C-alpha cells in the first residue's frame, strides 16, 4: 500500500522521540511553566523576530482555533472566514459551540480577498439594523489554505492593514505552516507572519510532532486569564512540557524548516511526475497537499493500492483527490506511486 | 531539592517512550481508528472483564470530565458531586462552561455518601417547584478522591444501585486510578468498577503516561456521535494512536498495575516514616497522596528544600500539606525526605 | 408623518386590551397553567384541525426561534435555513448562542427549494468526513418569508415529505402568519401548516397582540421538559396567562383572520396604487410587506414625511424599500401615501 | 377559595390597563426607543436620584437575572449568591446555561453576610491554584430576599464597599422591590439602592404590572452592546414600549410606592391576626411574603380552601408555608382567611 492520505498519519520525528527518552529522572513543573516550554518560547520568539511574543502550547488544531476565536471575540461577535475555511466546514461546529457565528466570504483557491472582507464589514457597518446582525469581530485565514495555497506577503499585509483599520484581529491557522514556510515561491516567513497577524499557530501535529501546536501572540497580546480559560475549555495540559519539548526540538538546528522543505520537495516531485504523465492538477498548490482532477478509471486503479483523500466531485464527472506528502515521505515512496500510475 | 509536589511532574515511563521510537516508518490511520487504539481497547476490555466495553482516548482529565458530564447529561440536568469534587472546585468552571450545574453533596474524607445523594434526589423529586430546579442527572465521584481516599466495593455498589434505581449514570473519575487499584486494603478492581459504573476513566497522565486518559463505557453505552461531539469540544486528536499506544504499553505485562503499586509503596514508606517521626496525618490516605497537618516551623524548614502542595489552613493554625509520590519516586527519594526532616 | 415602517409599531387590538380590563379581581395560576391559556390552546387546536397539538406561549419571535431550534436539535446538529432566513441574518447570533450552526441554502424570493435542501443533506451524508461536519438536523422556513412571499401548499408538502424522509423536523416561523394566511392566492391554511410542519408559531406581536407568540407542536410532540428548558432560556413568563388571553381573543370570532386580511387588503391597495403611479415592485409579495425598487429622488421626497424601511442597495443604484401595512393601517393612511407620492 | 399563593397570580393594575387602551392610533418606534420608555426612564432616574442612570426594560425576572449576570461577568467568572438565592436554586440552571458558575455563601434569613462574602473572595485570592478555580466576579443579592427579609441600609453599604474594594459589581434582584421599599422599618430607598448597587431591577410582574421589569444601571454603566446582547439572549421585545408604558404609569403619582405599601399593609394585617391566633412565624418578614411553621392539622384544614405555597419541611415535622399578599389583596381577603382559621 502507498500512503498519501494525509500528513498526520505517521509517527513523530525521531529527534523528538529521542529527546523524550532523555528526560528520564527530571522533574518538570506543571501547566507549561517548565524549562522546555520556556526554551521553546524563547526559540519561537527569536524565529519570529518578535521579542515580545507570548507563546503557548496546545494539543490540537481545532482546539487551538476554537480557543483563539472564543478568546479574541467579544461575546456578541463572529469570525470572518472563507466558506472553505476549516472553522466553517470541518470542525463539527466547534466555533458555534462557543456561541460564535462564522461569517463567510467567498474563497478563491482557498483564500479570502481583502475587498470582499472589507465589503462584509462595511455592509454590517452601514446597515441600520446592524444591532440585530452579528458583528464581524476578527478574521480567520489559514496558511497554507485548505487547498494548499499560500498568501503572498503583499496579500497578508493588505489583510493586516484592513484588520487594523477596522480594529479587528487577524488570526492565521498554521496547521501546515511548516510546509507553507517552505512553499514554492513564497515570500512569507515567520517574521512576516508575526508582523502582520495578531495571533497565529505553528502546527506541530502535521509537521513532525507527536501532537501539539504552538500558539503565538506576537505583540505580547495574550488574552486575559489565558490559563484559566483554556482550563475552562478542557485544553490545559498538566504535562505542558510535553509539547514545549517538541517545539524546543523542532526549533533547534532548523529542524522545523527542513521538515517542511522536505515535505514540499516530495510534493514537487510528485506534482512534476504527475504532470509529466498527463494528469491534471485541480489547483496549483505550492505546498505538501496536491490536488488532481481524475476520472473514475484512475480511482479504480488506486483502490486498494494507494491511500488518498477524496476531496470533491466535479460537475464534469471527474473527482478531485488529494495526495499529501509529509516530512516522512521518501523519494522512493513518490517514485513508487508514479511507477504504479 | 526534593520533589513531592505532584504525580504529573515527571516524564513518561521509558517503556512507553521506547515504544514510540519503534513506530518509525509505520502508517497509522487517524482519529483513533488505528491498530494501537484497537489493541489497547482490547486489553482494557479484558482487564475490566467487560467484553462489550467501548473505550476512547482523550488528552487530559478535566477535558474527559467535561466531555463525559456534557454527553451523559440532558441539557437541563446537573451533575451531583462532593463539594470537594474536582469538577466542582478545580476545573475553572469547565462543567458550567458546557451549560450544566454542579449539584453538591457533603464530602466525608473526600467521598460522597449514598444516603446524602439519595436525599438530594428525593428532595428534588418531592419539590412541587422541581421544574424550576436543576434536575440531578448523574453522579460524579473520583476514586481515589481529592484526599487520596478510596471507596470500598460495598460503597461503590451502594452508589451504583442507587443510581440505577433513579436511572442516572454513575461516573468515576480515575485520574489516579493506578494508585487507587493498588491502594492499601482496597477491594475495588477494574472489573468491580466496570460492573458498577456507567462510565469511568483510567488515568494515564498521573500514572506513567506522557499524557492521555482512557475513557471506558463498560456496557457499550458510548454516547451517540461521540467522535463528532469531542471534535466539537476541541478534544479530538488527529494522532489518536499516540494515546492508544501508551495504554497498549501500560496494559501489557501488568505495567499499569505495577506503577500504581510502586507509587503506593513509596507513599506507605513515607507515611510510616512520618508517623514514626511524630508527624500527624490529616486524613488516612491509602494511596499516593499523603496529607499531613503541620506547623509553621515545618513549613519554614521545607521552604526551598522540598517541593510539596499547600492544601488548606486549619482553624488551629496548622497547615495541611500534600506530599505525593509517583511511579518515578525512589526509596532513596523518600528516605532523603525523611532524613531531611 | 405617514407610518409604513413596520407592523409592530402600533398598539394591540382594542378587543385584547378591553379583555385585559375585564380580568380585574380574577385569580390566575402561574406559568401558563391558567384557564386563558387552556381556552386559547383549545381554540388553536381547533383552528389547526390538530386535536393532539401541544400549544405554548412565548414573548417574542427571536426567543421562539431560538428555543425551538435549540430544543429540536441534538447538541451536534445545525439548522438549515435560507441565507436570508431571519435566524441566519437578523437575530444577533441567537442561534449560535445556543451552540448550533445555521447551515444555509440559497434563497429564491426568500424561499428555500426542496432540491437544494436535499442536496445539502445528501452532500453531508455522502461525505466520508461527515463526522467532522455539522449534521443538518432540522429545516427552518418562514411563512411569509423575509420578502413577504408565501410557500404554496405543494411546496410545503414537498418540504415536509423531504424532512420526513430524512427524519428531520420542519419548523415554520410564522411571525407574520396572520398576513400569510390571508395572502393573495394562497392555499396554505392553518390545518395545512399543522399537517406538514413539526412545529410552527403563530405570530402575535406583528398581528394585533401586545406581545407574544403561540408555538404549536401539531402532533403532540412537545419537547421533553419544555417548561424547565424555557425557564433555563429565561423565557418562562410568570404571568403566562397574559399571552394566553391575547390568543384567546385573537382566535375568537375570526379576529386573527380578519386582522390579517385587513393588513393584506391595505397592502394590495398600496401596491395597486404604486403600480398605477409607475413604481416598480422589487418582488411580488402577496402579503403585508411590499418591496419597491426606487431611485434617490423618491427617497429624498419620502424623507421626513414617510416612515419606511431601507432594505438593500441595488447594483443599478436604486434602493429597495419596504412599506408595511398592519391590522391598524386605514384606507385613508394608504390613500394619503399615494396622494403624497 | 382564598388566594395567598403568590403575588403574580392576579391581573395588572387598572391604571396600566386603561393606559394601554389610550394608545389606540399611536405609532411607536421599536425595541424600546419610544416615548413611553423615554418617559419611564426619566421618571425612574428621578425616583432613584440617579441622573446618569441607564434604564432598560425586560420581560421577566429570571431573564433579567440571567442577562445581568452574563453581561456583568467576564467569561471565566462566577457570581456569588446565598445558597437560597433565586439564581442558585430556582432558575432551572439559567445562570449555568450562560456558562457561569454560582458560588454560594451561607444564608442568614435569606441574606448574605459581608464577612462571609469577603472570606470567599479572599480564599480565592489566597489560593495558589486560583487559576484553576472560578473567580468570584460579582455579588448577587435580592431585596427582599427569598424569605421576604430586607437588608438594612448599613448592610447594603457594607456590601457595596466590599464589592468596590474588590472591584466586583453588586447586583440587586428587586423582583418584589415594591414591597421591599415599603417594608416595615426599612431605611432602604431607591436612591440608597442606586447609590450602592451597580445594577438592580425594579420588579413589575409581582408589583402590579402585566409583565416586565425595569433594569437600572445607576452610574450609566450600561454593558457594551446591550441591545445586541439581549437580542442574542432572545430577550429583546419588538414592542418594548409595552413595558415602558407600564413603568411610566407605575412611576406616576406614586403608584408603585402605594401598591407596595398596600401589599405590605395586608401582610401586616395577616401576620398580626395569625400571631394573635397563636400561629408561629418561621421568620420575621417585614414584607408581603409571610412564612409560618404549621402542623399537619392546619395543612389539612387549608386543603381545598386556601391557596398557599409549600416552602419546606422542618425537622420537627412541621411545615413552613408561605402566604403572600399583593397590591390586589383586600382587607376582606385577609379577614376571610383569619376567620376561616
Chain B residues inside the 8 Å CB shell of C100: none
Q: If DSSP codes are grouped into helix, strand and coil, which group holds residue D41?
A: helix
Q: Which three cell numbers stand for residue B94?
A: 469547565
Q: pLDDT tens digit string along D269-312?
A: 999 999 999 999 999 999 999 999 999 999 999 999 999 999 98
**Interchain proximity B224–C131, CB inside 8 Å:** no
For C146-159, letters b (16+ CB in 10 Å) and e give bbbbbbebebbbbb
CA–CA min distance D97, chain C (Å): 7
**Phi and psi at residue A229, to the nearest 5°:** -70, -35
Nearest partner of D8 among A218, C33, B37, judged by Cα: C33
**Interchain proximity D94–C234, CB inside 8 Å:** yes
**What is the C-alpha to C-alpha distance for residues A229 and B92, in angstroms, rounded to an integer?**
7
Average pLDDT over residues C64-75: 98
pLDDT band (50, 70, 90) for residue D54: very high
Chain A residues inside the 8 Å CB shell of B12: 20
Average pLDDT over residues B200-217: 98
Average pLDDT over residues B212-226: 98
Q: Which three cell numbers stand for residue A246?
A: 517538541
Q: Give the model's pLDDT for residue C225.
A: 98
Torsion C242-C245-C250-C251 (CA) sign: positive
Residues of chain A contacting C, Cβ within 8 Å: 76, 78, 89-93, 96-97, 99-102, 128-129, 131-134, 310
Put residue C190 in one of left, alpha, beta given phi > 0 → left and psi -120 to 50 → alpha: alpha
**Interchain proximity B132–C74, CB inside 8 Å:** no
Comparing CB atoms, the residue among D90, D93, D97 nearest residue B129 is D90
- Which DSSP string corresponds to B26-95? ----STT-SHHHHHHHHHHHHHTT-TT-EEEEES-HHHHHHHHHHHHS-TTEEEEEETT-HHHHSSTTHH
Chain C residues inside the 8 Å CB shell of B223: none
- Tell me how far CA of residue C337 lies from CA of C183, C196, C267, C329, in angstroms: 22, 39, 12, 11
Comparing CB atoms, the residue among B8, B24, B25 nearest residue A238 is B8
Q: pLDDT tens digit string along C272-331?
A: 999 999 999 999 999 999 999 999 999 999 999 999 999 988 999 999 999 999 999 999
Q: pLDDT tens digit string along B151-176?
A: 999 999 999 999 999 999 999 999 99
D102: closest chain B residue by CA? B101
Work out the end-to-end distance of chain A between its first and last CA atoms, rounded to an integer number of angstroms.
13
Residues of chain B contacting C, Cβ within 8 Å: 70, 74-76, 99, 131-132, 135, 224-225, 227-229, 231-232
Q: If DSSP codes are grouped into helix, strand and coil, which group holds residue B249?
A: helix
Strand B2-3 to C213-217 pairing: unpaired
A20 contacts B11 by C-beta, under 8 angstroms: yes
CA–CA min distance A144, chain C (Å): 20
For C191-213, letters b (16+ CB in 10 Å) and e give ebbbbbbbbbbbbbbbbbbbbbb
Q: Which three cell numbers stand for residue B118?
A: 439519595
**What is the C-alpha to C-alpha distance for residues D254 and D259, in angstroms, rounded to an integer?**
9
D301 contacts D127 by C-beta, under 8 angstroms: no
CA–CA min distance C8, chain A (Å): 15
Comparing CB atoms, the residue among B70, B76, B227 nearest residue C228 is B76
Q: What angle do CA D18, D16, D328 make, to 5 degrees?
A: 110
The two most distant CA atoms of chain D are separated, in Å, by 64
pLDDT band (50, 70, 90) for residue B206: very high
**What is the C-alpha to C-alpha distance for residues B142 and B84, in angstroms, rounded to an integer?**
10
**Interchain proximity A90–C133, CB inside 8 Å:** yes
Best residue in C10, C11, C245, C329 for a mutation probing chain D (most D CBs within 10 Å): C11
Q: Give the model's pLDDT for residue B47.
A: 98
Comparing CB atoms, the residue among B9, B17, B65 nearest residue A27 is B9
User: Chains with 3 or more CB pairs closer than 8 angstroms to B?
Assistant: A, C, D
A299 contacts A311 by C-beta, under 8 angstroms: no
Q: Which three cell numbers stand for residue B71?
A: 454527553
User: Chains with 3 or more CB pairs closer than 8 angstroms to C?
Assistant: A, B, D
User: Chains with 3 or more CB pairs closer than 8 angstroms to D?
Assistant: A, B, C
Best residue in C97, C228, C229 for a mutation probing chain B (most B CBs within 10 Å): C228
**What is the C-alpha to C-alpha distance for residues D208 and D202, in angstroms, rounded to an integer?**
12
**Interchain proximity D97–C233, CB inside 8 Å:** yes
Chain B residues inside the 8 Å CB shell of C232: 75-76
Average pLDDT over residues C191-198: 98
CA–CA min distance A217, chain B (Å): 20
Best residue in A234, A306, A336 for a mutation probing chain B (most B CBs within 10 Å): A234
**Interchain proximity C99–A93, CB inside 8 Å:** yes
B282 contacts B308 by C-beta, under 8 angstroms: no
B132: closest chain C residue by CA? C228
Q: How many cross-chain Cβ pairs, B to D, lie less than 8 Å apart? A: 51
**Interchain proximity A131–D74, CB inside 8 Å:** no
**Interchain proximity C89–A131, CB inside 8 Å:** no
CA–CA min distance C91, chain A (Å): 5
Q: Give the model's pLDDT for residue D176.
A: 98
Please report where in the chains the cell 440585530 appears, as a residue: A132
Q: Give the model's pLDDT for residue B129.
A: 94
**Interchain proximity C91–A131, CB inside 8 Å:** no
B289 contacts B148 by C-beta, under 8 angstroms: yes
CA–CA min distance D9, chain C (Å): 5
D17 contacts C27 by C-beta, under 8 angstroms: no
Residue D81: alpha-carbon gap to chain centroid? 14
Q: What is the signed CA dihedral for D151, D154, D157, D158, rounded to 10 degrees?
A: -90
If you average pLDDT over every residue of chain B, what do you get?
Answer: 97
B79 contacts B95 by C-beta, under 8 angstroms: yes
Average pLDDT over residues B320-327: 97
**What is the C-alpha to C-alpha distance for residues D216 and D198, in angstroms, rounded to an integer?**
8
B143 contacts B287 by C-beta, under 8 angstroms: no
Q: What angle do CA C328, C329, C332 make, to 5 degrees?
A: 135
Best residue in D69, D85, D96, D321 for a mutation probing chain B (most B CBs within 10 Å): D96
Comparing CB atoms, the residue among B76, B132, B229 nearest residue C76 is B229
The rounded percent of chain C whose pLDDT value lies above 90 is: 97
Chain A residues inside the 8 Å CB shell of D101: none
Q: pLDDT tens digit string along D175-203?
A: 999 999 999 999 999 999 999 999 999 99
Q: What angle do CA A264, A267, A269 make, to 5 degrees?
A: 115
**Interchain proximity D60–C238, CB inside 8 Å:** yes
Q: Give the model's pLDDT for residue C283.
A: 96
Chain C residues inside the 8 Å CB shell of D18: 21
Q: Give the model's pLDDT for residue A191.
A: 98
Q: pLDDT tens digit string along C297-307?
A: 999 999 999 99
The rounded percent of chain D whose pLDDT value lies above 70 is: 100
**Interchain proximity A91–C132, CB inside 8 Å:** yes
Q: Give the model's pLDDT for residue A60.
A: 97
Comparing CB atoms, the residue among C21, C92, C232 nearest residue D231 is C92
Q: Which three cell numbers stand for residue C307?
A: 416612515
> How many other β-carbons are positioned within 10 Å of the β-carbon of residue B268?
18
CA–CA min distance A5, chain B (Å): 9
A19: closest chain B residue by CA? B17
Q: Which three cell numbers stand for residue C302?
A: 419620502
Residue numbers of chain A with a pLDDT score lower than 50: none
**Phi and psi at residue D268, to the nearest 5°:** -65, -40
Chain C residues inside the 8 Å CB shell of B76: 225, 228-229, 232
Amino acid at each position: 500500500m502507498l500512503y498519501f492520505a494525509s500528513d498526520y498519519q505517521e509517527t513523530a520525528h525521531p529527534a523528538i522521540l529521542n529527546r523524550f527518552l532523555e528526560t528520564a529522572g527530571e522533574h518538570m513543573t506543571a501547566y507549561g511553566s517548565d524549562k522546555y516550554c520556556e526554551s521553546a518560547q524563547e526559540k519561537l520568539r527569536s524565529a519570529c523576530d518578535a521579542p515580545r511574543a507570548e507563546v503557548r502550547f496546545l494539543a490540537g488544531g481545532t482546539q487551538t482555533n476554537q480557543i483563539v476565536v472564543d478568546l479574541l471575540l467579544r461575546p456578541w461577535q463572529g469570525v470572518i472566514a472563507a466558506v472553505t475555511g476549516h472553522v466553517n466546514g470541518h470542525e463539527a461546529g466547534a466555533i458555534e459551540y462557543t456561541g460564535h457565528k462564522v461569517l463567510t466570504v467567498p474563497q478563491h483557491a482557498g483564500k479570502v480577498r481583502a475587498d470582499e472582507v472589507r465589503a462584509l464589514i462595511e455592509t454590517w457597518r452601514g446597515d441600520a439594523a446592524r444591532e440585530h446582525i452579528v458583528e464581524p469581530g476578527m478574521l480567520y485565514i489559514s496558511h497554507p489554505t485548505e487547498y494548499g495555497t499560500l498568501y503572498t506577503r503583499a496579500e497578508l499585509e493588505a489583510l493586516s492593514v484592513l484588520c487594523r483599520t477596522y480594529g479587528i484581529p487577524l488570526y492565521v491557522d498554521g496547521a501546515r505552516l511548516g510546509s507553507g514556510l517552505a512553499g514554492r515561491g513564497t515570500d512569507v516567513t515567520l517574521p512576516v507572519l508575526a508582523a502582520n497577524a495578531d495571533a497565529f499557530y505553528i502546527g506541530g501535529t502535521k509537521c513532525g510532532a507527536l501532537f501539539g501546536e504552538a500558539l503565538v501572540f506576537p505583540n505580547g497580546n495574550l488574552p486575559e486569564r489565558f490559563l484559566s480559560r483554556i482550563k475552562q475549555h478542557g485544553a490545559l495540559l498538566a504535562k505542558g512540557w510535553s509539547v514545549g519539548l517538541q517545539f524546543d526540538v523542532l526549533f533547534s538546528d532548523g529542524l522545523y524548516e527542513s521538515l517542511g522543505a522536505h515535505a514540499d520537495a516530495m510534493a514537487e516531485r510528485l506534482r512534476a511526475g504527475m504532470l509529466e504523465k498527463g494528469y491534471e492538477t485541480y489547483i496549483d498548490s505550492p505546498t505538501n497537499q496536491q490536488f488532481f482532477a481524475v476520472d473514475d478509471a484512475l480511482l479504480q486503479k488506486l483502490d486498494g493500492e494507494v491511500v488518498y483523500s477524496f476531496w470533491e466531485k466535479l460537475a464534469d464527472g471527474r473527482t478531485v483527490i488529494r495526495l499529501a506528502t509529509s516530512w516522512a515521505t521518501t523519494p522512493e515512496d513518490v517514485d513508487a506511486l508514479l511507477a504504479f500510475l
